[in-house]
Chains A and B, each alone.
Chain A
Amino acid sequence: MALAGIFLLMFLPIHLIINFLLLKSDPVPFNNAAHFMATFPLVKIMEIVLIGAILLHITWGIILQIQNWLARPIGYVSGSKSEISFFSRFMIWTGASIFTFLLLHFFNFYFVKLGLVKGNPEDFYSMAHDLFKIPAYNYIYLACFTLLGFHLFHAFSSAFQTLGLNHRIWTPVVKVVALVYAIILPAGFAFISIILWLFR
């Protein structure tokens, strides 16, 4: 769960950097990057690993959540007022929302690349620009990336704890990095969406 999650954490900044090429008026750099990601052998191998990591992360997350629900069949009437990492309460729900968006994202791009959905896999630039002109798509996009931020904030430091990496000095540093990562990364994706939606 944690290892698959860490792999996904490493992939997201790469995706964001490529997405920034959408802000250029020239479609060639973005389409070249997308072409490279779709054809370079090493990336293609990593793509299989990435899909595996996503499936493993989701499947394992669902199994663990079901076990957790079964472990407390009767809840407390007075609720829980324990000090708790706030976003950790909703990991399954933020995760489910992100997964729903991921399906939409796959339908819009990845399945086009695989030839399962109609579209031009050599011009993802225009397809992305067209999508960001639809207000409803932007609302969904911004909502999902906000939820992704909540998910990442807990996930980042939680992964270190699960892997046994807890240190008197470094754990507080990891928590700060988690906060920065959980803000900057979704903000970067949201920034691109807002620019393409409102200013192009």
Chain B
Amino acid sequence: MKLTLKIWRQKNAKAKGSFVTYKMDNVSPEMAFLEMLDSLNKKLVEEDLDPVAFDHDCREGICGSCGMYINGHPHGLVPGVTTCHLSMRYFKEGETIWIEPWRAKPFPVIKDLIVDRQAFDKIQIAGGFISINTGAAPDANSILIRKQKSDEAFDSAICIGCGACVAACKNASAMLFVSAKISQFALLPQGRIEAKERVRAMVEKMDEVGFGNCSNTGSCEAECPKKIKIVNIARLNREYFKAF
């Protein structure tokens, strides 16, 4: 396949960035999106040019580091996959692909397509954990939990914190991320003990780091690679009201 890439290039956090056009020949439809970028970078290095900086780690859709905004979608147009799992077969011959970093004030660009997602870490540190002694696995297994609740908690816990929800939201809101982290604990008895303190602290930190507000557009749910549901946001709101 022949493709035209329009990639956001920015030397560092303080530099002014711009889009740079790259022509790609011989892109295999079997390639993954990141492999296509790898081949571009190989070409750039061979030409003694600065390769495109982008986050990646596991390349298995688990770590959530490979976030980039592709043709108007976080992680590209295919629902339920991260950028590393995005196959080039979904692009057409001769297509122009716009590749941008996540755009949100709390996610400043570090270089090219890499953004600083420490804002999520700060929210997690504020309360996204259990500090009580939950005992060992046999102790946890002695507490009976309805299968439905356990499934819902698991469905929330699979959030990989990639930031696609923030990237997709027109308000750059982090409500889906925070609601997933709140829900995974709120649904289980071990998490209930600190539920009030947790929700207050995490919401306060979310506002403090500068994310926007949720206006229930549903774009976060549509773009989440792990299919986290906005029903979690309603749960977060309920938990927040209950915390006062």
Contact = CB atoms under 8 A, between A and B. Distances in A.
Interface of A: 64, 67-68, 70-85, 88-89, 91, 154, 157-158, 161-166, 171
A164 B237 contact: yes
A91 B170 CA distance: 12
Interface stretch (B47-55, B65-73, B87-95, B129-137): B65-73
Nearest to B222: A83
Contact of A78 (B72, B211, B214, B216): B72
Contacts of A80: 72, 168, 170, 219
A146 B106 CA distance: 37
A162 B216 contact: yes
Interface of B: 6, 19, 69-74, 77, 98, 100, 103-106, 168, 170-173, 210-219, 222-223, 230-231, 233-241
Contact of B215 (A68, A72, A83, A164): A68
Contacts of B104: 71-72
Given A161-B230, A164-B238, A68 B218 contact: no
A84 B218 contact: yes
Considering the complex of A and B, which 6 residue pairs feature the smallest CB-CB distances, nearest first?
Answer: A164-B238, A166-B234, A71-B212, A81-B72, A68-B171, A78-B98
Prevailing SS type, chain B contact patch? mixed
Contact of A91 (B71, B215, B235, B237): B215
Contacts of A64: 213, 215
A75 to B, nearest CB: 6
Contacts, number: 110
Contacts of B234: 161, 164-166
Nearest to A163: B237
Contact of B233 (A71, A81, A161): A161
A184 B164 CA distance: 37
Contacts of A74: 103
Contacts of A83: 218-219, 222
A75 B70 CA distance: 13
A114 to B, nearest CB: 34
B216 A158 contact: yes
A67 B231 contact: no
Contacts of A164: 234-241
Contact of A72 (B19, B212, B217, B237): B212
Given A68-B172, A71-B105, A79 B72 contact: yes
B237 A85 contact: no
Contacts of B236: 164
B105 A70 contact: yes
A159 B176 CA distance: 17
14 contacts: A67-B213, A68-B172, A68-B173, A72-B104, A74-B103, A82-B73, A82-B74, A83-B222, A85-B217, A89-B170, A161-B234, A164-B234, A165-B234, A166-B231
Contacts of B230: 161, 166
Nearest to A89: B170
Given A71-B172, A80-B219, A161-B230, 7 more contacts: A64-B215, A67-B213, A74-B103, A78-B69, A82-B73, A82-B168, A83-B219
A78 B215 CA distance: 22
Contacts of A162: 214, 216, 237
A88 B217 contact: yes
A130 B241 CA distance: 48
A76 B103 contact: yes
Contact of A71 (B77, B106, B217, B218): B106
A84 B235 contact: no
A73 B105 contact: yes
Nearest to B168: A82
Nearest to A72: B172
